[in-house]
Amino acid sequence: MIDTEQPEICIVLGTRPEIIKLAPIIRVCEQKGIPYSLIHTGQHYSEKLDAVFFEQLNLPEPDHNLEVGSQTHGFQTSEMLAGIEEILLEEQPDTVLVQGDTNSVLAGAIATSKLDIALGHVEAGLRSFDREMPEETNRVLTDHAADYLFAPTADAAELLRDEGIPEERIFMTGNTVVDAVYEHSDLASDRSDVLADLGLESTQYALVTAHRAENVDDRERFGGLLEGIDSVAQANDLEVVYPIHPRAEKQIDELEIPVPESIRLISPQDYLDFLRLEQAATIILTDSGGVQEEACIVGVPCVTLRKNTERPETLNVGANKLAGVDPDAIERATKEMLKMETTWENPFGDGTAAEQIIEISQAESREPET
């Protein structure tokens, strides 16, 4: 917390992408001297998914860490909910901000919406229309509980209107992922040694990430995905680096999934090294939401290892293609994307999302209730 005053804003986070995408908002609070507090649910706790980002992005230690760890969805969410409620009752902020679609977001949303505290959802209005994904449930429920919905794009705002969310709650701000990429792009190219360390300086390579439950928790799907990437490597004479999420690593071990020799598994990277790997990649293959956005922002073609995306803007500007996990489809989509001109415009805003979100949150909390 910035001082001992009652916080105006409470920020809830729990996983790698939330730390990265909320960092610009934390930075604005620090710069403007806004009293805020930070609750970490502890959903991610491994050093490489958590502490490394606090350190590199220069973030303050969380005021609270609920240390919930890995659990089943219901158990994990309920522990977070109870912990967040207790803190909110104590701190009584004007506004709680949550970001994205994880269980930490849902817990923050439910806890806040039962109290007399406004809820702001950063990255509102994303829909995959696939209710099999736990993230889709989290997004829909959080959007419908929120008082301020910070939509990254006009399409996301439109989806919210279509679901009957009142206009006065919807604010189109862009996505804070752009703020984060713009702030760190030069640092990544100037300071990261990852390409030299991995021997990739003058090499054409594909950067891969895959961690979604629906892909890596199923032997056949995960196997198909790896086979497809192997074909891409052979057909295009590309090296492949795959910074592997602990969930995926665990599944490879437990399900005894063979990893083709062409795929180099490396540990999860810190933000500057990962951004550098994205910038210099020939192509990115991923099932991550944030990585689809970042590929589009840094101008590298992307193939999404899913049948749907809640980031259709990346498809519309020609930066991304959906492939699912069928090996032939992955190879075909990669071939097409490698031919694309990479001159698209970034559809996710101008890098001022965090500033706008804080301004709106403060202005709205001062408005008399009607």
Binding at 134: pick from ligand UD1, ligand UDP, none (beta carbon under 5-8 Å per type): ligand UD1
Cα 111 to Cα 320: distance, rounded to the nearest angstrom: 36
Taking 3-state DSSP, the helix, strand and coil percentages for the chain, each rounded to the nearest 5, stand at 50, 15, 35
Stretch that binds ligand UDP, among 146-154, 284-292, 301-309, 316-324 (CB under 6 A): 284-292
Residue 2's CB is within 10 A of a number of other CB atoms, namely 17
State the number of binding residues for ligand UDP (CB under 6 A).
15
Judged by beta carbon, residue 50 or residue 94, the one nearer ligand UD1 is 50
Tell me how far the alpha carbon of residue 79 is from its chain's centroid: 22
**Catalytic residue numbers?**
211
Measured between alpha carbons, how far is 226 from 177 in angstroms, rounded to an integer? Answer: 28
The contact set with ligand UD1 (CB under 6 A) reads: 15-17, 43-46, 49-50, 70, 101-103, 134-135, 211, 245-247, 250
Tokens coding 129: 């229309």
Does residue 136 bind ligand UDP (CB under 6 A)? no
Q: Say whether residue 93 binds ligand UDP (CB under 6 A).
A: no
Site membership for ligand UDP, residue 14 (CB under 6 A):
no
Beta carbon nearer to ligand UD1, 44 or 64: 44
Residue closer to ligand UD1, measured from CB, 101 or 230: 101
Output Rg (C-alpha) for the chain, integer angstroms: 20
- Which of the residues 203 through 232 are near ligand UDP (CB under 6 A)? 209, 211
d(CA 369, CA 168): 13
Return the closest-CA partner of residue 138 out of 225, 185, 77: 77
| Least distance to ligand UDP, CB of residue 87, Å | 24
User: Which one of ligand UD1, ligand UDP, none interacts with residue 251, CB within 5 to 8 A by kind?
Assistant: none
Contact 36, 10 (CB under 8 A): yes
Least distance (Å) from ligand UDP to the CB of residue 271?
4
Which of ligand UD1, ligand UDP, none is residue 313 near (CB under 5 to 8 Å by kind)?
A: none
Instruction: Find the binding residues for ligand UDP in span 20-39 (CB under 6 A).
Output: 20
| Closest C-alpha among 265, 184, 257, 172 to residue 222 | 257
- Which helix (H) or strand (E) covers residue 242, if one does? strand 239-243
Closest distance between ligand UDP and the C-beta of residue 167, in Å? Answer: 28
Q: Which of ligand UD1, ligand UDP, none sits in contact with 70, Cβ below 5 to 8 A by type?
A: ligand UD1
Question: Which token pair is 23?
Answer: 């960092």
* Amino acid at position 10, single letter: C
CA distance 160 to 151: 9
Residue 363 CA to residue 359 CA, distance in Å, equals: 6
CA-CA distances (angstroms) from residue 31 to 27, 126, 355? 6, 29, 10
Which among 289, 305, 284 is positioned nearest to 214, based on CA atoms?
305
Distance CA 195, CA 152 (A): 31
Q: How far is the CB of 203 from ligand UD1 (least distance, A)?
A: 27
Task: Verify binding: residue 294, ligand UDP, rule CB under 6 A.
Answer: yes
Distance CA(308)–CA(223), nearest Å, equals 19
* Residue 307 contacts which entry, ligand UDP, ligand UD1, none (Cβ below 5-8 A, type-dependent): none
Which residues between 242 and 261 bind ligand UDP (CB under 6 A)?
Answer: 243
Residue 49 or residue 178: which is nearer to ligand UD1 going by CB?
Answer: 49
Q: Which of 93, 125, 290, 347 binds ligand UDP (CB under 6 A)?
A: 290
Binding partner of residue 176 among ligand UD1, ligand UDP, none, CB under 5 to 8 Å per kind? none
| Spatial separation of the C-alpha atoms in residues 222 and 227, rounded to whole Å | 9
Binding segment (CB under 6 A) for ligand UDP, from list 78-86, 126-134, 232-240, 264-272: 264-272
Residue 323 binds which one of ligand UDP, ligand UD1, none, with CB within 5 to 8 A depending on kind? none
List contacts with ligand UDP (CB under 6 A): 16-17, 20, 209, 211, 243, 268-269, 271, 274, 288-291, 294
